[in-house]
Structure 1
Amino acid sequence: MDPDSVRTGSRVPHGGEPDPDLLDFSANTNPRAPDGVGDVYAAALEESRRYPDDDYPAYRRAAAEFVDCDPAEVIPTPGGLAAIRLVMECTLEPGDEALVPYPSFGEYAREVSLQGATPRFVRYDELCEIGPAVLEACALAVVCTPNNPTGDAIDPDALEAFATRCGDAGTTLLVDEAFLGFTDRSSAAELDLEHVVVARSLTKLFGLPGLRAGFAVATGDRRDALATARRAWSVGTPAVRVGAYCLRQDAFVRETRARVTHERERMREALAERFEVHPSDAPYLLCDVGDRDVSTVIDDARAAGVSIRDATTFRGLDSHVRVAVKDRTANDRLLAALGVHNRDDVDRETEHD
């Protein structure tokens, strides 16, 4: 990390509502966690009287099975963002350039800048079309799939073609798959390319954002560099025990994907009555509120007990909010808070009439 860049850096805004009295739709986390995590955590707490095994064998095996890679390629990290920082620390030097998507996760540009490098912003849906001339000038390219906050996932063939061009140009490709677990799409880890590094987060899919568990996947010399640079005992025992347990809860993952798919479409149809809603493969929906005042929309929702994300903090967006996809009961509260009719209720009223 570049000391001068740290002194001139700043924080970036995120979702997450600290007020427990509000229903939080500003953070895109599963409202449910797998059965049994409490017992696993309690057992791990007693184990925490010793240092964790710094090789994390059980956690790495579970992560490898989840994304279909070799356990040796898994680098445990305390959350997906820690994986992103680790990759950038090992890749970027002061003066480098990095391709960063927009509108997208604000931490990409911040982490690039903290290394003393310069973010080169590209529309997220145009990034995979970038050619050799631009790539050769960049040490790193970042893609987010599904993209946050828009929610659309990258076509696998387009991603593979882009990865090939990155390799030809000598550019490291960082693929952030923080929300890919909510889909049935394969991980970019299956590309098995040394210049491609994947960052994964467990805590969104499994509803445990405060636990801080994630991992990176890399091969060859890149894997060796990340493994060397990773801090010793970087993930606590409760996080790796619960993480390994959650990664093997196949039925929970299937149920979550089915619920999110169904509820997302139901919410999209209802929200489209008032807003322009972006297509999504993720557990959230980006809504353009048009000529309405974004702050007023947010404040009105809060007055109704619901917190939503101000998406104008994302580069390139000026009239947008983002809402998470939760369970049916919570989603209905969100729709009511935004003054949107529940489609099922409308249908029932029509039948009654």
Structure 2
Amino acid sequence: MDPDAIREGERVPHGGEPDRDLLDFSANTNPRTPDGAAEVYGDALAEARRYPDDDYPDFRAAAGEFVGCEAERVLPTPGGLAAIRLAMEAVLEPGDEALVPYPSFGEYAREVRLQGAAPRFVRYDDLLDLGPTTLEPCALAVVCTPNNPTGDAVDPDALASFAARCVAADTTLLVDEAFLGFTDRPSTARLDRENVVVARSLTKLFGLPGLRAGFAVASGDRRDALETARRSWSLGTPAARVGAHCLRRDEFVRETRERVADERDRLREALEERFDVRPSDAPYLLCDVGDRDAATVIADARAAGVAVRDATTFRGLDAHVRVAVKDRAANDRLLAALGVRDADEGSEG
């Protein structure tokens, strides 16, 4: 990282509610975890008295199976954001430019700046249409799928076409798939292109954000560079063991996708009584509150015991909140807190 950029840098806002008395809809994590995760964690804790195997063979194998790539292409990281930083550290130099989508995850621009590079902002839904004139001056392009906070996933064929244009322009493509596991779309890791780096997060899909487990996927010389740059013992033993266990829980993943899709449709239909709600492929919905004050909507929800995400902190949004998709009972509490319907209305039984 660039020392001058670090001195001038700032942290960015995130979801995640520290008040445990509030029902947290500001962070997009699964309210459920796979069976057996606690037992695996407990067994791994005893093994944490010694350093983990820095090759992480079982974790790499499970991650490779999950996204459809060879295990040796997987680089274990303590969360998806660590994979993003690893890629940017290996690619960007001071003075470089990077294409960054908006509105999207605020850490992209921050991480670019921490390398001494400059973010060049592009509307997230225009990014894949860019050609060589825009790509060639840029060392890196970032794509988020499904995009956060809008929730729409990128068409895989369009992404493959964009990756080919990035190859021709000598631009590295970083694809953040933090929420792609909530869909049945294939990972970009299957492209197996040397200029493509994929970042994955385990902890959102499997409901364990405090575990800090994720991975990057890369090929060829880029993979070798990232492996060299990767911190030694980049995953603790409990994170590696629980991560591998969760990645092999196929039935849990299927059930999660079905539940999220069903509840997302139900939530969207209800929320549209008050807000303009974007279609989404992700476990969250972006709501335009219109002429209402977003801060007031958020404060009213908090007074009713529910935390929602202030989406006005995303570049280009000024009247929006984002809400996670949880289970039915929790979602009914969200609707009641937002004044959409009574908590009991629409519940089963």
Which amino acid in structure 1 is aligned with residue 237 of structure 2? T
> What fraction of aligned residue pairs are identical, expressed as a percent?
78
Structure 2: 5+ residue runs without aligned partners?
none
Root-mean-square deviation (CA, aligned residues, Å) is 1.2
For 2:250 and 2:5, the matched residues in 1 are separated by 43
DSSP 3-state at the match of 1:216: strand
Aligned partners of 2:183 and 2:244: how far apart in 1?
Answer: 19
Q: 1:346 to 1:19 in 2, by over 3 A?
A: closer
Per-residue deviation, 1:347: 11
Note if contact 2:336-2:343 (Cα within 8 Å) is conserved in structure 1: no
Unaligned runs of 5+ in 1: 349-353
How far did residue 342 of structure 1 move?
Answer: 6.2
In the other structure, the counterpart of 2:37 is 37
Q: Distance in 1 between matches of 2:56 and 2:288?
A: 44
The residue that corresponds to 2:122 in the other structure is 122
The answer to whether residue 173 in structure 2 is matched with residue 199 in structure 1 is: no
Match of 2:65 in 1: 65
Identify the residue that residue 56 of structure 1 maps to in structure 2.
Answer: 56
1:340 aligned partner: 340
- Structure 2 counterpart of 1:310, one-letter code: D
In the alignment, the residues of structure 2 paired with residue 30 and residue 342 of structure 1 have an alpha-carbon distance, to the nearest angstrom, of: 24
SS at match of 2:280: coil
User: Partner amino acid for 2:266?
Assistant: R
The question of 1:310 aligning with 2:333 is answered: no
1:308-344 Cα shifts (integer Å, max 9, x gaps): 0000000000000000000000000000000002699
* Equivalence for 2:296: 296
Q: Does structure 2 retain, via aligned residues, the 8 Å contact 1:25–1:323?
A: yes
After TM superposition, the score normalised by the length of structure 2 is: 0.98
- Report the TM-score when normalising by structure 1: 0.97
SS of the residue corresponding to residue 210 of structure 1 reads helix
**Are the equivalent residues in 2 in contact too, given 1:25–1:307 (CA < 8 A)?**
yes
Matches within 5 A, 1:163-182: 163-182=163-182
Distance in 2 between residues matched to 1:345 and 1:24, nearest whole Å: 21
CA distance in 1, matches of 2:101, 2:347: 40
Give yes or no for the alignment of 1:7 onto 2:17: no
1:97 equivalenced with 2:97 (yes/no): yes
User: Are the structure 2 counterparts of residues 299 and 176 from structure 1 closer, same or farther at C-alpha, using a change threshold of 3 Å?
Assistant: same
Matched, 1:79 2:79: yes
Q: Per the alignment, in what secondary structure is the counterpart of residue 24 of structure 1?
A: strand
Count of residue pairs brought into register by the alignment: 348
CA contact (8 A) 1:270 1:343 kept: no
Do the aligned partners of 2:6 and 2:114 also contact (CA within 8 Å) in 1?
yes
Q: Distance in 1 between matches of 2:61 and 2:113?
A: 34
CA distance in 2, matches of 1:311, 1:136: 32
Q: Indicate the SS of the match to 1:307.
A: strand
In 1: Cα distance, 2:335 partner to 2:194 partner: 45
Q: Give yes or no for the alignment of 1:140 onto 2:145.
A: no
8 Å CA contact 2:332–2:344 kept in 1: the answer is: no
Q: What is the identity, as a one-letter code, of the residue corresponding to 1:261? A: A
1:144-293 alignment to 2 at 5 Å?
144-293=144-293
Q: Please report how far the alpha carbon of residue 156 of structure 1 lies from its aligned counterpart in structure 2 after TM superposition.
A: 1.0
**Cα distance in 2, alignment partners of residues 303 and 317 from structure 1:** 24
